[in-house]
């Protein structure tokens, strides 16, 4: 049975929501950096010691990522065909789509590129970093990485795109599942933007903290 | 009553037939009365083209009072022109400035093939309607008009959805050439009323499937359509369609 565009959209929304859950869980883990080296390293060790469970979670995460992107790519190919020939001139009416809505495809690609960079940068990297002559493991790796302003800048820019992506996508989920009524639309949009900005700021606080304190 | 007059340069899409690749041609529209409608302006331009021995610009029109949904073109990149909540026939030339250049092209979508110049084939909309846009009616004597109670709120929302004239501006303005606003308006207008419940599940599934089948794109919630709709149909209808569709699919 072929999926309709509507079902594909709803699957993109469900997997997207799952990924937002991961983003929030990841963020709470990251905040342990403020408690110091031991807190972060112990948490990393705890995750690693989960073994099979960790891999189950990773496979689930990869599956969500693949479905999210695969269906989006499929819909994008379909929409290019749907227009047929392009307009010589195209402008928005007074009611403009938000900036975050317009750059969704771009922000998505930036996030994908960043995820690959991030995996190579931290996840698969050797967990060591020397601070004041002592190897402080993962904590050391994170801190020494962010002491490089360029590294921090890449991270903050990527998080800004994540925030923009979420600003549009969270409110989009409500629309895609039909949970929007006209009266609540503006409230949902405001909350969605607040969460998007909040997540970007929260993640960015880590490199800012490192740059200011080390 | 005649107002001021302005001079305009028109860049109009000319296409001899569905297979012709088409091209823009330029026309000078001089002494255009600002109280004329956009279509009346095209009529005057066409009269001159015919007088000069050319082929007039083909555009669709019928009622010329904004309710039939026949007319429509992109004017300077906007469906039905720069003014919100009007069809092309209700757009007046006072909205334009003297000396302006207007780019006029047809609504573009794979499901709306150009027949000639600005005229497009919207059979795809008819097919969406016929796939499920109907209600069952019991035969026999006509029943009392007010025998079925309907809440004021639902009656209003159904009526708002029913004001869709099927012009296709939503598809034309959508970056994905999606027919979601049109289809959802037609679904909502029946899903909100007790008379529409018998076929509710079948209707939403069939109409959405037909919409895909016709080659329209998907909705990415950019809401260009609501801004371009001459009747101000709300994207709340798309939300309702999504919910109805999910309900129908989950409950079978």
Residues in A 85-124 with any Cβ partner in B closer than 8 A: 85-97, 101-102, 104
| A1/B contact by beta carbon, under 8 A | no
Q: Which residues of A touch B218 (CB under 8 A)?
A: 5-6, 8-9, 75, 78-79
Find out whether A129 and A135 touch, Cβ atoms under 8 Å. Answer: yes
User: For residue A1, what pLDDT is reported?
Assistant: 57
Say if A89 falls within a structural domain: no
Alpha carbon separation from A57 to A38, A46, A122 (Å, rounded): 24, 14, 18
Using CB atoms within 10 A of its CB, is residue B170 exposed (0-12), middle (13-18) or buried (19+)? buried
- Split into its structural domains, chain B has a count of 2
CB contact under 8 A, A79 and B208: no
Closest CB to B77 among A87, A102, A182: A87
For residue A18, name the pLDDT band (cuts at 50, 70, 90). Answer: very high
Say if B62 falls within a structural domain: yes
- B99 and B156 share one domain: no
Say if B203 falls within a structural domain: yes
- Which region among A1-5, A100-104, B44-48, B110-114 has the lowest average model confidence (pLDDT)? A1-5
Closest CB to A10 among B228, B234, B246: B246
Pairing of strands B74-75, B101-105: antiparallel
| A152/B contact by beta carbon, under 8 A | no
Q: What three-state secondary structure class fits A33?
A: helix
DSSP per residue, A58-76? HHHHHHHHHHHHHHHHHHH
pLDDT at residue A98 is higher than 90: no
Say if B111 falls within a structural domain: no
Say if A86 falls within a structural domain: no
- Token pair recorded at residue A119: 């995996």
HSE, side-chain direction, 13 A CA sphere, residue A167? 24
User: For residue A92, what pLDDT is reported?
Assistant: 87
Say if B23 falls within a structural domain: yes
Say if A149 falls within a structural domain: yes
Range of the domain at A30: 5-81+100-213
**CA–CA separation, A108 vs B127, rounded Å?**
35
- Token pair recorded at residue A64: 């969500």
- Residuewise pLDDT in 10s, chain B (252 residues): 557 999 999 999 999 999 999 999 999 999 999 999 999 999 999 999 999 999 999 999 999 999 999 999 999 999 999 999 999 999 999 999 999 999 999 999 999 999 999 999 999 999 999 999 999 888 888 878 888 899 999 999 999 999 999 999 999 999 999 999 999 999 999 999 999 999 999 999 999 999 999 999 999 998 999 999 999 999 999 999 999 999 999 987
Say if B47 falls within a structural domain: yes
Pairing of strands B5-14, B101-105: parallel
Say if B34 falls within a structural domain: yes
CB contact under 8 A, A175 and B239: yes
Say if A174 falls within a structural domain: yes
CB contact under 8 A, B209 and A4: yes
For residue A180, name the pLDDT band (cuts at 50, 70, 90). Answer: confident
- Split into its structural domains, chain A has a count of 1
pLDDT at residue A108 is higher than 90: yes
Predicted ipTM of the assembly = 0.89
Which of the two residues, A182 and B216, has the higher pLDDT score?
B216
- B11 and B85 share one domain: yes
Find out whether A16 and B229 touch, Cβ atoms under 8 Å. Answer: no
Range of the domain at B45: 5-105
Say if A94 falls within a structural domain: no
* Residue B23: Cβ within 10 Å count: 10
Q: Which residues of B touch A79 (CB under 8 A)?
A: 175-178, 217-218, 220
pLDDT at residue A214 is higher than 90: no
Q: Which residues pair with B29 in a beta bridge?
A: B8
Say if B169 falls within a structural domain: yes
- B100 and B191 share one domain: no
- B9 and B88 share one domain: yes
Say if B86 falls within a structural domain: yes
CATH number of the domain enclosing B91? 3.10.20.30
Instruction: Please state the rounded mean pLDDT for residues A31-52.
Output: 95
Closest CB to B222 among A75, A86, A97: A97
CATH number of the domain enclosing A180? 1.20.1300.10
- B76 and B163 share one domain: no
* pLDDT tens, residue by residue, A111-144: 999 999 999 999 898 888 998 889 999 999 999 9
Q: Tell which residue, A123, A109, A139, A111, has the closest CA to residue A23.
A: A111
């Amino acid at each position: 049975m072929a999926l309709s565009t509507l079902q594909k959209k709803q699957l993109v929304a469900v997997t997207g929501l799952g990924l937002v859950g991961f983003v929030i869980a990841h963020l709470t883990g990251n905040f342990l950096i403020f408690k110091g080296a031991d807190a972060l390293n112990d948490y990393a060790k705890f995750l690693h010691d989960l073994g099979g469970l960790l891999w189950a979670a990773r496979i689930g995460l990869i599956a969500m990522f693949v479905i999210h992107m695969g269906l989006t790519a499929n819909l994008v190919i379909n929409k290019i065909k749907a227009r047929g020939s392009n307009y010589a001139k195209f402008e928005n009416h007074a009611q403009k789509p938000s900036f975050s809505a317009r750059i969704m495809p771009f922000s998505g690609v930036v996030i994908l590129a960043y995820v690959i960079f991030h995996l190579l940068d931290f996840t698969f990297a050797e967990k060591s970093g020397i601070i004041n002559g002592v190897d402080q493991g993962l904590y050391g790796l994170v801190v020494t990485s962010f002491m490089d302003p360029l590294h921090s800048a890449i991270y903050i820019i990527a998080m800004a795109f994540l925030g923009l992506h979420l600003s549009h996508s969270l409110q989009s989920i409500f629309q895609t599942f039909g949970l929007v009524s006209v009266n609540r639309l503006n409230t949902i949009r405001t909350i969605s933007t607040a969460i998007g900005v909040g997540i970007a700021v929260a993640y960015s606080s880590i490199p800012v903290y490192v740059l200011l304190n080390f | 009553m005649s107002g001021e007059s302005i001079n305009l340069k028109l860049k109009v899409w000319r296409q001899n037939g569905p297979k012709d690749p088409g091209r823009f041609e330029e026309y000078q529209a001089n002494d255009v009365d600002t109280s004329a409608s956009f279509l009346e302006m095209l009529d005057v331009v066409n009269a001159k083209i015919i007088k000069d021995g050319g082929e007039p610009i083909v555009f669709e029109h019928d009622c010329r009072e904004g309710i039939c949904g026949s007319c429509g073109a992109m004017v300077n990149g906007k469906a039905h022109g720069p003014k919100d909540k009007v069809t092309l026939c209700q757009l007046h030339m006072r909205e334009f400035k003297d000396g302006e250049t207007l780019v006029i092209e047809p609504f573009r979508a794979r499901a709306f093939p150009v027949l000639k110049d600005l005229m497009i084939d919207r059979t795809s909309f008819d097919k969406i309607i016929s796939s499920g846009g109907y209600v069952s009616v019991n035969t026999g004597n006509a029943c009392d008009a007010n025998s079925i109670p309907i809440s004021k709120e639902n009656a209003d929302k159904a009526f708002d959805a029913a004001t869709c004239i099927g012009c296709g501006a939503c598809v034309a303005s959508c970056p994905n050439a999606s027919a979601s606003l049109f289809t959802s308006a037609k679904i909502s207008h029946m899903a909100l009323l007790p008379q529409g419940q018998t076929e509710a599940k079948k209707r939403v599934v069939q109409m959405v499937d037909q919409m895909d089948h016709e080659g329209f794109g998907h909705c990415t919630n950019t809401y260009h359509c609501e801004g371009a709709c001459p009747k101000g149909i709300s994207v709340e209808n798309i939300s309702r369609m999504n919910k109805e569709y999910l309900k129908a699919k989950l409950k079978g």
